[in-house]
Structure 1
Amino acid sequence: MTENMMTALGLDRPESGDDTVVPFTLDKLDTRGRSVRLGDSLDTILNRHNYPAPVARLLGEAVVLASLIGSSLKFDGKFIMQTQTDGPVNLIVVDFDAPDGLRGYARFDHDALLRAAEEGRTKPSELLGNGHLAMTIDQGAHTERYQGIVALQGNSLEEVAHTYFMQSEQIPTQVRLAVAEFTKKGDHRPHWRAGGVLIQHLPEHGGTRVADLPGDGNFDNPDHNFVEADGWNEAKVHLSTLDDLELADPDLSSERLLFRLYHETGVRVFAPMPMVERCTCSPDRIEDMLATNFTAEDREEMAVDGEIEVVCEFCSTAYHFNPNQFEAKH
């Protein structure tokens, strides 16, 4: 990165790499945002289940979106994004475990996916179908969950995110997501990677309050009378020039990307936030779930050859328990 570029960005550190979220502001355009680049963390999530490529891309977009939203949390807790639909990919769950943990899972109908592929219906909106997307914040025990739900009616995750923020948070928001496969030097296996940018309009001084993300808005009373400011329109126009290759380019850092987009209007970037693939399952948690949610009779029926096996849907780790061990603790 050149000295002029570093000065323009207000940068006094090396540029960030993969598996990071970089917050930024466009002060002259009354806009804030975040840029994410995911490499090895996303590749691990998507390869763990050997998803067909269309499913992997859709889940990858969901992971990117969850990273952009979840990284805004200002407290320890979990951000959960989930779709439930009637399409070939009927369930997607992505957990963001603040401040940096990511895990994701997709469930799909093999036959329906095959028919969709034969008919050329592999766009994200066509794979999702109709249903809903829920975004949930869980701050742990002794706190109330916040949840916002928006309809999924043949829309992309980008479009749904725009609708969600206008309805539940009353924050004008624009999102770009891209997922692609690249081959590394010396490695013939393609690797999944992704990028995304989220921008949001900030009110002028003395203007309407902007909610912290997410969960600080009023889902029941969206403001339909919002008039878009010139600065916000300009920020959106610049973002719309991004293509998928730029977003997922392994050689283009968030800082370089943002400078390319907004150097004429000015952009300030802040310290990158690391993202890691991390599952929150554990032997103790699974054991507690079996003890709390199932009776002794249930556990006996679950046992095969005297052993209960529980496989985590996210990371595929298999846990084994003796059905009699639970009674021994009581």
Structure 2
Amino acid sequence: MTSSHPASPTRTPSAEAIDDRVTPFHVDGLDVRGRIVRLGPSLDAVLAHHQYPAPVKRLLGEAVALTVLLGSTLKIEGRFILQTRTDGPVDLLVVDFMAPDSVRAYARYDEAGLAEATTSGPARSGALLGHGHLALTIDQGLTVRPYQGVVALEGGGLEDAAHQYFRQSEQIPTRIRLTVAEDVRPGGEASSWRAGGLMVQFLPTEGGRIATPDLDPGDAPEGTPVPVVDEDDAWVEAQSLVGTVEDIELVDADLSSERLLFRLFHERGVRVFDAETIVARCSCSRERVMNVLMSFGPDERAGLVEDGKVKVTCEFCGRSYAFEASEVANAS
């Protein structure tokens, strides 16, 4: 395995398994780059703000892992936001990644619908999401217009939606794996949660090697032949290797990310780069909440007053802010 450290370009993979890290890597022999994420205490911190049932925690954990994989690629100051709106039992997911390292998340669900979906056992993430859409937004602040990509959710999970996003919006061959596991502790002690994710992308220097079929126009006459596009051998091999990863390997607290990458790609030569730390942190503040209130008209602000106060609770972290009615009415 090669390292990002210039003084020691070749070394054995580290056996130290560290949670809440994203490790970027390249596999030069396959022309792929990627990232692997392992989340532990940071995921617990995100989930602790609400009393989510286990199926919701699992689904939100997948969303957090996916958002960290994608958002941590940003080389600019800004936010990467994943949001779903669907007709399923979990009708809203929002994960907000603030570059370079902070994440917060929120889920909304229907208790009756969730109970029905899980009556016969654990439900697939696609069944919990249902049908709707997934939006991925890059927000660099007021001076830059946000970029947003939207894909349909049609009963599949977040992995399926991510693959569709890259086919449709980025046109980069991409393979993503997501896993979430609950560590149930004896004696009634609160369980903990872990999430893992792996993303590989095919980015050869010769652009002609990325051959992808055209998107289905949807209105072609029945029987119209669909052109077959052969995938590059290197990308076929990379996908096959990723397909050998077992769920437990992505969340195993005793298996380091580097050892997993070495197992997968050592024959082709894998280079790892400095790992990036991830923390659970909410960006809400009294000033930010006031700025949101100021975006409302005077009549709207007046309608928020109850018992002489305006009270706002952050959906992400549960922190409450209280303002005097006069404070909100007179602010400008």
String of CA shifts for 1:173-229, please: whole Å, max 9, x gaps.
Answer: 00000011125799932111111100000124354689xxxxxxxx999xx875311
Kindly report which structure 2 residues correspond to 1:284-323, keeping only aligned pairs within 5 A, or say none: 284-295=287-298, 297-323=299-325
CA distance, structure 1, for counterparts of residue 34 and residue 276 of structure 2: 13
8 Å Cα contact 2:301-2:328 kept in structure 1: no
- C-alpha distance 280-130 of structure 1, shift in aligned 2 (>3 A): same
Amino acid at match of 1:301: G
Count of equivalent residues: 315
Amino acid at match of 2:310: I
Q: What secondary structure does 2:248 align onto?
A: helix
Is the partner of 2:261 in helix, strand or coil?
Answer: helix
2:265 equivalent to 1:262? yes
User: Given the superposition, is the C-alpha separation of residues 208 and 220 from structure 1 closer, same or farther in structure 2, using an over 3 Å criterion?
Assistant: farther
Residues 254-275 of structure 1: CA deviation (Å, up to 9, x unaligned) = 1111112222222110000111
Answer yes or no: is the 8 Å Cα contact 2:293–2:301 preserved in 1: yes
Are the structure 2 counterparts of residues 121 and 186 from structure 1 closer, same or farther at C-alpha, using a change threshold of 3 Å?
A: closer
C-alpha deviation, 1:290, in angstroms: 1.0
Q: Are 1:233 and 2:265 counterparts?
A: no
Let me know the Cα RMSD of the aligned residues: 2.7
Alpha-carbon separation, structure 2, partners of 1:199 and 1:187: 39
Whether 1:324 aligns to 2:326 is: yes
TM-score with structure 1 length normalisation?
0.88
Structure 1 runs not aligned, ≥5 long: 2-6, 211-218
Tell me: CA distance 1:194–1:12, structure 2 relative to 1, closer, same or farther (3 Å): closer
Q: 1:113 aligned to 2:119?
A: no
Shift of 1:323: 1.2
What is residue 196 of structure 2 aligned with on the other side?
A: 195
Q: Which runs of 4+ in 1 moved over 4 A?
A: 7-16, 183-187
Q: Distance in 2 between matches of 1:145 and 1:292?
A: 19
Is the partner of 2:23 in helix, strand or coil? strand
What percent of counterpart residues are identical?
A: 51
Amino acid at match of 1:305: D
- Asked if the contact 1:121–1:127 (Cα under 8 Å) also holds between the matched residues in 2, the reply is no
TM-score (norm 2): 0.87
Please show how residues 127-142 of structure 1 align to structure 2 within 5 Å: 127-142=128-143
| Gap runs ≥5 in structure 2 | 2-7, 218-226
After superposition, the C-alpha distances for 1:284-307 in whole angstroms (9 at most, x for unaligned) are: 010111122142x43333223222
Q: How far apart are the structure 2 equivalents of 1:202 and 1:78? A: 24
